[in-house]
Amino acid sequence: MENSIFDRYWKSISRASSYKYFPLIVKKIEGSRIVDVNGKEYIDFLSSAALYNAGLNNDEVVTSLLEELKNMLHYTQYLYHEKSIKLAEILKEITPGTFEKKVAFELSGGAAVDIALRSSLYFSGKKLLGSFENSYHGTTYLSISVSGSFRPEIREKLNAYPYVYFFKYPDTFRRPRGIEPEEYGEILLGEIERTLQVDAYGKGFAAIIFEPIQGDGGVLVPPKSFIVGLRKIADEYGIVLIDDEIQTGFGRTGKMFAIEHFGIEPDIIVLGKSLGSGMPISAVIGRREILDSPEPMTYMSTYSPHYLSCIAAMAGIEYIIKNRLHDRAELMGEYLMKRLNELKDGHEIVGDVRGKGLMIGVEIVDDKDSLKPSSKKAQKIIWRAYENGLIMMTFGKYGNVLRIAPPLTIEREEIDKAVEIMEKAISDVEKGKVGDEVLSKMVAWQ
């Protein structure tokens, strides 16, 4: 049966749709566990790509959906439904920013990024957009255009929006020797400043979009001064500053929103993934004058804001706030980082452990002397971990970072078990017990 499902998948669904890491067919999810069709349980260190901050299949979210299901699935935006208004009011209240806000909804993070960029272009009347190397913002037209993780030739073949300038994002692990992280951030800010000081550039930027912690780049945590400096630059040149919190939002990093670690107010915040606790919904929250600047229907989407998704979003947010999952993420993240740093100390191929809260990256290298990235070793580690009951994936600009983003409800005992599985997997790879043949079984981040 399983082989039949895999064959049917590859015969019917485009290879461009997704990476596929493991031959695992999901039957049930709950808490921090995945159960496959054979009844085998796995600890989930992925949360469906940071989708389930409030836990897999959260009971309160499911109950709220069941209660409303008999009333309506959805009805388009030509008429009103109160749930979208309530959700917008909640988002205005909980997101950083003391200015007057408005909200726009979509179904995916990438589509919400598209709205944020469209509104900035319309509002400013300028055409240049700033982003960062190795960033990821989605796969709609404008979001792929500003995603530095796509190779230039891919963006060129897709006729991506041409007026995008990619700046360098601080990778403090691979910074130049002899330079401290804060100093490195200042150097990169200086490069941005020098670009903007050229009249053709500085006067033409509509927006700069950034991730407060760069996710798919490999969980790159920038120096605080770098993000503070971005705000100053945006103010000086009249640039809309867009904070992409699709991966980092809703408690993931130990704060409700990651930008709170840096103490600034962006002009626009983009939310997705965990906003819907498993239901498709995303949102853009920003300055009223920016989001209201285009004409009606500029953002309109038939299924957004989806009625049931709004209900799930409100239930999930309530659960996170009521149970202070952002504080829990900080506490559990500190414990997990401690355990992972013990792995780093004991294994030659673990080069770095970094992150905030329960958004963590473990960088795998050939050895600690060269620090040469090893995507092959990273993929072998996650394969052996999968065989032993732990789900992770790889990402990062070299494809060599283990992505760790468990549900914020994960228990300490599950963390301990997961780290035990990771240690065995790392040891097996170091001893050559995981062959190259497993690499052909995965379609992994490159």
Closest alpha carbon to 265 in 246, 285, 282, 283: 285
Percent of the chain whose pLDDT exceeds 90: 92
Separation of first and last alpha carbons in the chain? 30
Q: Are strands 282-287 and 268-271 parallel, antiparallel or unpaired?
A: antiparallel
Confidence at residue 200, expressed as pLDDT on a 0 to 100 scale: 66
Rounded CA gap, 91 and 141, in Å?
A: 26
pTM of the model as a whole: 0.96
Which amino acid type is present at position 281? I
Token pair of 200 as six digits: 């053709």
Burial of 256 (0-12, 13-18, 19+ CB in 10 A): buried
CB burial of 338-361 (b: ≥16 within 10 Å; e: otherwise) equals ebbeebbeebebbbbbbbbbbbbb
Distance between CA atoms of 408 and 325, rounded to whole angstroms? 6
Return the pLDDT at 1.
53
Which CATH fold would you assign to the domain 72-322? Answer: Aspartate Aminotransferase; domain 2 (3.40.640)
Q: What is the CATH number of domain 2-57+324-441?
A: 3.90.1150.10
The per-residue pLDDT string of the chain (446 residues; one tens digit each, 9 = 90 and over) reads: 566 899 999 999 998 888 899 999 999 999 999 999 999 999 999 999 999 999 999 999 999 999 999 999 999 888 999 999 999 999 999 999 999 999 999 999 999 999 999 999 999 999 999 999 999 999 999 999 999 999 999 999 999 999 999 999 999 999 999 999 999 999 999 999 999 988 667 789 999 999 999 999 999 999 999 999 999 999 999 999 999 999 999 999 999 999 999 999 999 999 999 999 999 999 999 999 999 999 988 898 899 999 999 999 999 999 999 999 999 999 999 999 999 999 999 999 999 999 999 999 999 999 999 999 999 999 999 999 999 999 999 999 999 999 999 999 999 999 999 999 999 999 999 999 999 999 999 988 87
Instruction: Give the CA dihedral 243, 248, 252, 258, nearest 10 degrees.
Output: -30
Give the whole-angstrom CA distance, residue 266 versus residue 245.
11
- Quick one: which of 359, 396, 360, 383 has its CA closest to 24? 383
Domain boundaries, the chain: 2-57+324-441, 72-322
* CB 53, CB 61: distance < 8 Å: no
What is the rounded (10 degree) CA torsion for 222, 223, 226, 231? 90
